[in-house]
Amino acid sequence: MGKADFLSPKAISNRIKAKGLQKLRWYCQMCQKQCRDENGFKCHCMSESHQRQLLLASENPNKFMDYFSNEFKSDFLELLRRRFGTKRVHNNIVYNEYISDREHVHMNSTQWETLTDFTKWLGREGFCKVDETPKGWYIQYIDRDPETIRRQEEQARKMKQELDDEERSAKFIEEQVRRGRTTKDTEETPVYTELKRENEEEKGLDFSFVYLFLSPLSFQNQTSALKTAASSSTKRKEPSSSSDSRGEKKKKSALEEIIEMEEKKKKQSVQTDYWMQPNIVVKVITKRLGEKYHKKKAVVMEVRDKFTAVVKMIDSGDKLRLDQNHVETVIPAPGKKVLILNGPYRDTEAVLEGIDEKNFCATLTLDSGQHKGKRVDVAYEDFSKLA
């Protein structure tokens, strides 16, 4: 019986049946052929091509098994690294995604009999961190890429520097609070002094009392005069106490302003692990995609899960899904617009004024936000060219 035509019902039925995964027991790894039923697999095992492959494998079976094992291990770890990164994930989830590809290397052709054996082997060899739970085995990829290690060390250095700055700020605030409390206690402590009058006033007061006793008819007039003098002296004393209270309030408000400014500065100086933003230009630095994309520029179209983005290559127009470890920021020429990706001015557009190669940073003029027009120094990895 001849082969069915391309658009015949039989050909369409065969293509529908061939879609997706088939039973593993009817798959031949040596010939990389998947059969749909037991009869087809039996016919394939009796074919001449299959017999030739068996003769080749029988000459050096360890060589073929090592080859399939290395392929299975490499593809599995590549999927784990690109899909999940360094997150802790169930091994069965990764395996189900791996076998969804019809052309994958099957586990029955490798040196591992089960997925559990393979997971334990990854832990012994140091490729992943593995742990067993009541729900099964979990794995976590260990990234040993030199570029990733360098970025992590740089990030750890920046975090340590920020912590040192925060400690200095905290000590400064404590010193200001201590000084403020000391000044407040000194001002609130009352100091009593003896009332001393000038000689003329004392003489006048003496004469008034003498006159008071000498002229009993004018007693009421003298009494009213003394009351008027006492009230005037009280009024002269009141402004000093009110001025002291106003000065104390001013000192308190200044101290509170210093604390608020330091707290705002501390909140703004927080760095994040992720920096990918839409509509920025990045450069592909990974070599795993081949020379076609290595060192080529792309535009970030969409950011997913904070660390992953869909980029569009500027030269070819191809769309790729890359991790932020696979790309780096792009520094344009002076005068071009950039977007700040990390630090206190995150998500702020700016204009590149100059580059400081010695300190690995650039001078930017903020072009948006409440600090518009301000000049700041930003590290290379914290800003990128706008698309």
- How far CA 287 is from CA of 265, 274, 295, 313, in Å, comes to 40, 22, 9, 15
Q: Distance (Å, rounded) from C-alpha 129 to C-alpha 142?
A: 7
Answering whether pTM is above 0.75, one says no
Q: Categorize the per-residue pLDDT at 139 as very low, low, confident or very high, splitting at 50, 70 and 90.
A: very high
More confident residue, 160 or 312: 312
Strands 383-385 and 128-133: unpaired
Say which residues have a Cβ less than 8 Å from residue 299's Cβ, sequence separation at least 6: 279, 280, 281, 282, 311, 312, 314, 387
Per CATH, the number for 281-385 is: 2.30.30.30
More confident residue, 7 or 71: 71
203-209's contacts with Cβ under 8 Å and 24+ in sequence apart are none
Q: Distance (Å, rounded) from C-alpha 21 to C-alpha 37?
A: 13
Give pLDDT tens digits for 304-322: 888 899 999 998 888 888 8
Least confident of 35-39, 274-278, 282-286: 35-39
CB burial of residue 264 (10 Å; 0-12, 13-18, 19+): exposed
Q: Categorize the per-residue pLDDT at 121 as very low, low, confident or very high, splitting at 50, 70 and 90.
A: very high
More confident residue, 202 or 93: 93
Identify the pLDDT of residue 352: 92
Using a pLDDT cut of 70, give the percent of the chain over it: 75
Amino acid at 10: K
Q: Categorize the per-residue pLDDT at 217 as very low, low, confident or very high, splitting at 50, 70 and 90.
A: very low
What CATH architecture does domain 16-141 belong to? Orthogonal Bundle (1.10)
Say which residues have a Cβ less than 8 Å from residue 90's Cβ, sequence separation at least 6: 135, 136, 137, 138, 139
Least confident of 2-16, 23-37, 239-253, 314-328: 239-253
How many other CB atoms are found less than 10 A from the CB of residue 186? 8
Q: Distance (Å, rounded) from C-alpha 98 to C-alpha 157?
A: 37
Least confident of 32-36, 167-171, 203-207, 334-338: 203-207
Give pLDDT tens digits for 329-357: 999 999 999 999 988 888 889 999 998 88
